[in-house]
Amino acid sequence: MEIEIFLLEIFSQYTNIKILGNQHIIDNKNNKILIMHGDLLCTDDISYQRFRKIIRNKVIVTLIKILPYSIKTYLANF
């Protein structure tokens, strides 16, 4: 399970670091720099893309947040 999804807000507050989205463009004078998560480039891995779409769904994220820790741990180790 992608634990970083659930820890990003806490990490951001603790470290005072701004969390960017999956893609972010930085304007540096006359240059534009694209920063993106490498998972977006794994387009041939259909099962991973399907999993990613499910696990990042807002309803699923909310449900996982309210699950007891023991169930989250079980699912993460499944």
Reported as a single tens digit per residue, the pLDDT across 15-63 is: 998 888 788 999 998 999 999 888 878 889 899 889 888 888 889 888 8
Specify whether the CB–CB gap between 65 and 6 falls below 8 A. Answer: yes
Q: Which residues contact 14 (CB under 8 A, 6 or more apart)?
A: none
Specify whether the CB–CB gap between 56 and 5 falls below 8 A. Answer: yes
The amino acid sitting at 51 is F
pLDDT(74) > 60: yes
- Does residue 74 come out as left (phi exceeding 0), alpha (psi in the -120 to 50 range) or beta? alpha
Q: What does the alpha-carbon distance between residue 36 and residue 25 come to, in Å, rounded to a whole number?
A: 9
Quick one: pLDDT at residue 26?
92
